[in-house]
Structure 1
Amino acid sequence: MSLFLLALFAVLAVLGVPLSVALGLATAGTLWWYQLPLSMITQSMATSINSFLLIAVPLFILAGQIMERGGLSERIFDAAEAAVGRMRGGLGHVNIASSFVFGGISGSSVADIASLGPITIRSMTSRGYPLPYSAALTLITATLATLVPPSILVIVAAAAAGQSVGGALAGGLGPGLLLALSLALYNYVISKRKGYGTVTAFDMRRSSRALLRALPSVGAPVIILTGMFSGIVTPTEAAGLAVLYTFLVASLVHREVGLRDFLELAVLSGRLAGSVLLILMVASAATFVFTVDMLPQKASGILTTLGGSPFMVLMLMMVIFLIVGMLMDIVAGALMLIPVLMPAAVAAGVEPLHFLVFMVACLAVGLATPPVGTCLFATAYVAKVPTERLVVAALPFYVINLAVLILIAALPQIVLWPVALLT
C-alpha cells in the first residue's frame, strides 16, 4: 500500500505536478484503490493544521520579509564586518556571522540569500575574493537559517512529530554553531593560503558607528531567543514579537517600511506560508496510509537488522535524508520521512530530538545541491554564476557539511546539550 502511494507520488512529481498536489492525489488514489475511507483525507488535513504552534510559521516568514525590505539585513552585515571583518578572511567570516544572526530572526534560508546574498557577494568580490568562492560560501552559509532557531523547518517538523518545538529549536543551535565554526576555520585557512581578501587596520570610530547603527537590528534575535528559551513567551508568541519588533525598527528607526508595505508583505508571507502548510496537511493524510500499512514497523525492523547501534542507524538514515533532500522539497521530505523513520530511530535508541535535528541538518544540505536545491538556483541567479560552476566551487563546503553531519550523528550531546541548557 505504501509503495503504491510512493510510486504514484513519484510519477506525478516527475510529470511536473506541484508536490503538495501530487502527494494529495497519490494519497487519494491509494485510499480509493484499497477501498479505504476517503474522508480520512479531510479529517487528517483539518487535524494537522489545527495547531497554535503553526501560527509561528507565517509570522517568522513575515519577520524575514520585513527585515529584507526594511534594511535590517544590511545593518546586520555592517555590524558583522565591524566585529570580524578586519582579520584574514574577514569578509568570509562576516558572511558566516551575518547569516547566523539573520537566521536567528527569519528562519528561512531563501530569505537569507535574497536579502544578504547580493550584499555579501558584492562586498567579497570587491575585496579580492573570487566570485565563485564568494557565491559558494554565501550558498552554504544560507543553510544555517534552516538549522539555527527559529528555523521554520524545525518548527514544522517538531509539530508534525509531536515533540517540543522549543526543545527542537534549541537542539538546532549546537549543529548550527558547529557548522558555522567549521566554515570559518576553512575560510581562514583557504584565505591565508590563497591570499583572498585584504587585512585592514582597526578603525574604532568606524566600527563603533556601524555597531551602534546596527544595534536595533541585532537586538531582534536577542529579544526573540531570550524570551523563547527563558519561558517568558512561546515560540508562536516569539514569532509575533519578531514581527512587531522588526516592523517598529524598519518603520520608526530606519523609516524604510510603511503601513502599505506591511500589508503587501503580509499577503506575500501568507502565500509563502500557505505552500508550506499545505504540504503539512496532505502529508498528514499520507501518514494515515503509512500507519495502516505498518510501514514504520517494517522500516524499524530493516534498519535494526542492518544497523544495530544508534550511530549506524543514523548513518543509514543519513543516506536516505541526503537523497530525499536532493530530489524534493525539504519540507515535504521531512513530513514524509518523520512517520516512517522516527519510530525506527527511537527503537534503535536514538533520542527523538536528536533524530529530528539530525534529519533537518541532512535535508538542509539539499537546499544547496542539484537538481532541485532552491538556495543553489537563487544564489546562482543573485551572483550571476552558472549553476554548474557554483556546484564545483561549493564541493569543499559539501565535504565540510558531510563531516559535520557525521559528528552530529556520533555525538548526540551536540544537539542535546543546548536542549538541556536552554529548556
Structure 2
Amino acid sequence: MSYTLIAVFALLALLDVPLSVALGLSSVVTLWWFDLPLSMITQSMATSINSFLLIAVPLFILAGQIMERGGLSERIFDAAEALVGRLPGGVGHVNIASSFVFGGISGSSVADIASLGPITIRSMTSRGYPRPYSAALTLITSTLATLVPPSILIIVAAASAGQSVGAALAGGLGPGILLAVALAIYNTIISRKKGYGAITNFSMRHSARSLFRALPSVGAPIIILTGMFSGVVTPTEAAGLAVLYTMIVAGIVHREIGFKDVVELTISSGRLAGSVLLILMVASAATFVFTVDLLPQKASGVLSTFGGSPFMTLMLMGLIFIIVGMLMDIVAAALMLIPVLMPAAVAAGVEPMHFLIYMVACLAVGLATPPVGTCLFAAAYVSKVPTPRLVAAAMPFYAVNLVVLVMIAAFPEIVMLPIRWLTL
C-alpha cells in the first residue's frame, strides 16, 4: 500500500505536478485502490491543521518579511561587522554572525538570502574575497535559519510529530551554534591561507554608532527567545511579539515601511504560509496510509539488520534525509519521513528530539544543493555567479556541514543540553 503511494507520488513529481497536489492525489489514489474510506483524507487534513501552535508559521514569516523591507537586516550586518569585522577572515565572520542573528527572528533561510545576501556578498567582494567564495559562504550560512530558533521547519516538524515545539526549537540552538563555529573556523583558515579580506582600520566611533543603530534590531531575537524559553509566552505568542516588535522598529523607529507595506507583506506572508501548511495537511493523509500499512515497523525491521546502535541508525537515516532533501521540498520531505522513520529511530534508542533536530539539520543541506535547492538558486541569482560555479565553490562548505552532521549524530548532548537548560 505504501509503495503504491510512493510510486504514484514519484510519478506525479516527475511530471512537475506541485508537491502538495502530488502528495494529495497519491493518497487519494492509494485509498481508492485499496478500497479504504476517502473520508479519512478530509478528517486527517482537518485534524492536522487544527493547532494553535501552527499560527506561529505565518507570523514568523511575516516578521522576517518586515525585517527585510524595514531595514533591520542592514543594521544587523553593520552591528556584526563592528563586533567581529577585525578578526582574521573578518567580513566572512560578519556574514556568519548576521545570518545567525537574522535566523533568530525570521526562521527562513530563503529570507536570509534575499535580505542579507546582497549586502554580505557586496561587502565581502569589496574587501578582496572572490565572488564565488562570498556567494558560497552566504549560501551555507543561510541554512542556519533552518536550525536556529524560531525555525519554521522545526515548528512544523515538531507539531507533526506530536513533540513540544518549544523544546524542539531549543534543541536546534546547539547544532546551529556548532555549524556557525565550524564555518567560522574554516573561514579563518582559508582566509589566512589565501589572503582573503582587506584589513580595515578600527574606529571606535563608527563601531559604537553601528551598535547603537542596531540595538532595536538585535533586540528582537533577545525578546523573542527569552520570552519563549522562560515560559512567559508560547511559541505562537512569541511569533506575535516578533511581528509587533519588528513592525514598531521598522515603521516607527526606522520609518522605512508604512501601512500599505504592512498590508502587502501580510498578503505575501499568508500565501507563503499557505503553501507550507497545505503540504502539512496533505501529508497527514499519507501518514494515515503509512500507519495502516505498518510501514514504520517495516522500516524498523530493515534498519535493525544493519546494526541497531543509535549512532549507526542515525547515520543510515542521514543518508536518506540528505538524498530526499536534495530531491524535494524539505517541508514535504520532513512530513513524509517523520511517521516512517521516527518510530524506527526511537526503537533503536534515539531520543525523539535528537531524531527531529538531526533530520532537520540533514534536510537543510538540501536547501543548498542541486537539483532543487531553493537557497542555491536564490544565491546564484543574487550573486550573479552561475549555479555550477557556485556549487563547485561550495564543496568545502558541504564537507564542513557533513562533519557537523556526524558530530550531531554521535553526540546527542549537542541537541539535548540546550533543551534541558532552556526549557526548565
TM-score, reference length from structure 1 = 1.00
Alignment partner of 1:154 is 2:154? yes
Amino acid in the other structure paired with 1:240: G
Q: CA deviation at 1:307?
A: 2.6
Q: CA deviation at 1:293?
A: 0.2
Structure 2 partner of 1:119: 119
8 Å contact 1:84–1:93 — kept in the other structure? yes
2:177 maps to what in 1? 177
Contact 1:328-1:372 within 8 A present in 2 as well: yes
1:331 offset after TM fit, Å?
0.1
User: 1:87, 1:200 within 8 Å by CA — same for their partners in 2?
Assistant: no
Partner of 1:333: 333
Q: Residue deviations 1:247-296, cap 9 Å, x none?
A: 00000010001111101100000000000000000000000000000000
In structure 1, C-alpha distance between the alignment counterparts of 2:123 and 2:214, rounded to whole Å: 18
Q: Report what 1:299 is aligned to.
A: 299
Gaps of 5+ in 1: none
Other-structure match for 2:24: 24
Counterpart residue number, 1:379: 379
Give the Cα–Cα distance (whole angstroms) in 2 for the partners of residues 45 and 213 of structure 1. 46
Structure 2 residue aligned with 1:412: 412
Separation in 2, partners of 1:244, 1:284 = 32
2:138 partner amino acid:
T
The 2-side partners of 1:307 and 1:107 are apart by 36
How far 1:306 sits from its partner (Å)?
1.2
Mapped to 2, the partners of 1:152 and 1:62 lie a distance apart of 12
* 1:330–1:363 CA contact under 8 A, matched in 2: yes
Deviation at 1:198, TM superposition (A): 1.5
Structure 1 range deviating more: 298-307 or 282-291: 298-307
AA aligned to 2:391 is V
2:200 maps to 1:204: no
Name the count of aligned residue pairs.
Answer: 423
Counterparts of 1:315-334 in structure 2, within 5 Å, are: 315-334=315-334
The equivalent of 1:224 in structure 2 is: 224
C-alpha distance after superposition, 1:6-39 (max 9, x if no partner): 0000000000000000000000000000000000
Give the match for residue 262 of structure 1: 262
What is the deviation of 1:87? 1.9
Partner of 1:70: 70
Determine if contact 1:87/1:199 at 8 Å carries over to the other structure. Answer: no
Q: Deviations over 1:322-357 (max 9, x none)?
A: 000000000000000000000000000000000000
- Using the alignment, how far apart are the partners of 1:359 and 1:421 within structure 2? 22
- Conserved? CA contact 1:143–1:368, under 8 Å: yes
Helix, strand or coil at the partner of 1:350:
coil
Matched residue SS, 1:306: coil
Instruction: Name the amino acid aligned to 2:158.
Output: A
Q: Partner of 2:310 in structure 1?
A: 310
- The answer for the alignment partner of 1:403 in structure 2 is 403
- Runs of 4+ displaced beyond 4 Å: none
Kept in 2: contact 1:93–1:187 (CA 8 A) = yes
SS in structure 2 opposite 1:372?
Answer: coil
Tell me, yes or no, if structure 1 residue 52 matches structure 2 residue 52.
yes
Over residues 363-416 of structure 1, what are the superposed CA-to-partner deviations in whole Å (9 max), with x where a residue is unaligned?
000000000000000000000010000000000000000000000000000000
Q: Is 1:10 paired with 2:10?
A: yes
Within 2, Cα distance between the matches of 1:317 and 1:228? Answer: 31
SS at match of 2:185: helix
Q: Which sections of structure 2, spanning at least 5 residues, go unmatched?
A: none
* Matched residue type, 1:403: V
Does residue 158 of structure 2 align to residue 165 of structure 1? no
Partner amino acid, structure 1, of 2:79: A
- The share of aligned pairs that are identical, in percent, is 81
- Cα distance, 1:201 vs structure 2: 2.8
- SS at structure 1 position matched to 2:201: coil
Q: Separation in 2 of the partners of 1:199 and 1:386?
A: 29
* Separation (CA, whole Å) in 2 of partners of 1:86 and 1:407: 29
CA distance in 1, matches of 2:283, 2:376: 25
What amino acid is the match of 1:128? G
Helix, strand or coil for the counterpart of 1:172? helix
Per the alignment, residue 93 of structure 1 pairs with 93
Query: Does the 8 A contact of 1:58 with 1:273 survive in 2?
Result: yes
CA distance in 1, matches of 2:106, 2:40: 34
Determine the C-alpha separation between the residues in 2 that align with 1:45 and 1:118: 39
Aligned 8 A contact 1:307 1:316 in 2: no
Residue identity opposite 2:348 in structure 1: A
Identify the residue that residue 213 of structure 1 maps to in structure 2. 213
Counterparts of residues 246-285 of structure 1 (less than 5 Å): 246-285=246-285
* Larger deviation, residues 237-246 vs 196-205: 196-205
Q: Is the 8 A contact 1:107 1:152 kept in 2?
A: yes
d(CA) in 1 for partners of 2:170, 2:307: 28
